[in-house]
Amino acid sequence: MVTMDLTMIGQSTAKKHKPCIQILSWKEVRDEVLEVNSEIVDIIDNLNLTAEVKFCKVNYPFGAAIFDKGKLFIPNGENNFVPVDDNIIPNELKEYFGCEQTPFGMVLKKSISNSVEGTNQFIPLTVFYPGQFFGLWEVFDGEHSLFSNAQWSLYAGTRSLFSTTKISNQKKYQPVKRKFDLKSNAPETTKDQFFLFKELANHPCFLCDWSTTVLFFSGRIKEQITNKGKWSELQSFFLRYCWKQSMVWRFDAMMRGVWSYLANVLKEKGVKSFGFQLGVLKHIVAVSLGSLPCFVSNDQEELTAPLNLIKKILIDEYGIEFCPTIMVPAHLSKERYRSGYYSVNDSIPIEETYINKKVETSVETTRSIQEIYEFVKDNVADNKIDTVSPLLRRLMKDVKLEFFHPTFDKKRKLLSSSQLPGQDNSLIQLPKKYGKSILPFNENGSFFRGLINIDMGNFSP
């Protein structure tokens, strides 16, 4: 094992701390990998790797940018990160990251997330949990990729967490800012909340030990799995992994045909506004298949963020008036989360569409999505469309959607948002020190004003 303490690089007076980067042989890192992914351990064991093939293990604190604007960042001292091609980084270290600057590896602890920046918010694309691999598509696509590295980012934990109650009140925030000498301003939007949560989580006053651990695969491994060589078993494993991840995108053409057919039927029935509704449902199909994340509040393992710490600060320091419900992105699967949420107000569908101007209220928008959903489910699940795949038919039959809004629905189709805590206690769950929450649930928050609960039921992709 080669341990590299980078705290002293360019910082002659910096205090030393535990190393953030370790260069390890397969033998040295094998047991950690075994805890999160036994399948790849068996394959790599069969390769009988020489000591020259190394792996690079790196710890990142919450919110640290691992990859941003086409640059891979590595630690250069405590909570200080620089691009891997920076002159301050020793050449002998750079070679262990391989893949030019595109990160390629697996998560050992907590999580990392992949996002793209949209108008006024970051859009979560993928959450990578322990044992999962990142950067594989870029490795196999190489120069043929149509996706620019500058378009996406990787963060330790999640970039897209937010409180469902606004925390932009200046009178409440200024005392907190002065007390802890914060650099962040009071967050005006949900996108801005990340910067505050990141600064608080890494503030010395709170001694937060949340960090994610990433294992980078070297350029040598990339060369072997992208060429016909002796490592065909490992190459096949990674290709199968990519193939499974790409299911939704490979069948996108077929899905477009289904949605086009449904749109024509709706036109024939005289429905004038349905583009936004179909866009939302198409997005929810991708969420149900696990390809895109929805939002959850029950991250009890704190894989995505130090949520209990954030809640404590909002209660004790900020004096939040409602129960601090924190939403984080997550993928639905039989292993981890069976249900999650999509908000008509705060989420962005796969294809950006616009709400018809005639639909004036969020109640009407939510109800119209529900009505289109019932129409689609009736046509797909009951074999009224011949071109639908068995998987999509089973999904529309097994996955259950419930629609919520805090405003009374005259047509009595939407459920009241006030019922949500009764169905999902995690929405009002607090750290143990507070016992049962005495703070009210913010049912009128923007996130809950047009909420869709996606329950996978017995469905499994």
- What is the mean pLDDT for each group of 10 consecutive residues in the chain (461 residues)? 47 42 92 97 92 90 90 78 84 68 89 79 85 88 62 88 94 94 91 93 91 90 80 92 85 78 82 81 90 93 96 95 95 91 74 50 88 84 68 87 90 91 94 82 94 91 75
CA angle centred on 341, ends 373 and 365, rounded to 5°: 45
* Cα 383 from Cα 379, distance rounded (Å): 7
Look at residue 85 in the predicted model and tell me its pLDDT: 83
Tokens for 308?
A: 């209990």
* Cα 296 from Cα 349, distance rounded (Å): 17
As a dihedral over the C-alpha atoms of residue 77, residue 83, residue 88, residue 90, rounded to 10 degrees, the angle is 90
Q: What is the 3-state secondary structure (H, E, C) of the chain?
A: CEEECHHHCCCCCCCCCCCCEEEEEHHHHHHHHHHHCHHHHHHHHCCCCCCCCEEEEEEEECCCEEEECCEEEEECCCCCEEECCCCCCCHHHHCCCCCCCCCCEEEEECCEEEEEEECCEEEEEEEECCCCEECHHHHHHHHHCCCCHHHEEEEECCCCCEECCCCCCHHHHHHHHHHHCCCCCCCCCHHHHHHHHHHHHCCCCCCCCCEEEEEEECHHHHHHHCCCCCCHHHHHHHHHHHHHHCHHHHCHHHHHHHHHHHHHHHHHCCCCCCHHHHHHHHHHHHHHCCCCCEEECCCCCCCCCCHHHHHHHHHHHHCCCCCCCEEEEECECCCCECEEEEECCCCCCCCCCCCCCCCCCHHHHHHHHHHHHHHHHHHHHCCCCCCCCHHHHHHHHHCEEEEEECCCCCCCCCEEHHHHHHHCHHHHCCCHHHCCCCCCCCCCCHHHCCEEEEECCCCCC
Look at residue 176 in the predicted model and tell me its pLDDT: 95
Tokens for 271?
A: 């429905």
Look at residue 3 in the predicted model and tell me its pLDDT: 56
Contact yes or no for 74/89 (Cβ under 8 A): yes
Contact yes or no for 218/55 (Cβ under 8 A): yes
Look at residue 357 in the predicted model and tell me its pLDDT: 43
Look at residue 9 in the predicted model and tell me its pLDDT: 36
Residue 118, beta-bridge partner list:
121
pTM greater than the 0.85 cutoff: yes
Q: Which CATH superfamily, name and number, covers 2-159+211-241?
A: Jelly Rolls (2.60.120.10)
At 291, give phi and psi (nearest 5°): -85, -30
The full set of domain ranges for the chain reads 2-159+211-241, 250-455
Name the one residue in this structure whose structure tokens are 């995690």.
Answer: 426
Contact yes or no for 225/233 (Cβ under 8 A): no
Residues 6+ apart with CB under 8 A from 454: 284, 287, 288, 294, 332, 339, 340, 341, 342, 399, 400, 401
Look at residue 41 in the predicted model and tell me its pLDDT: 96
Residues 6+ apart with CB under 8 A from 379: 262, 265, 385
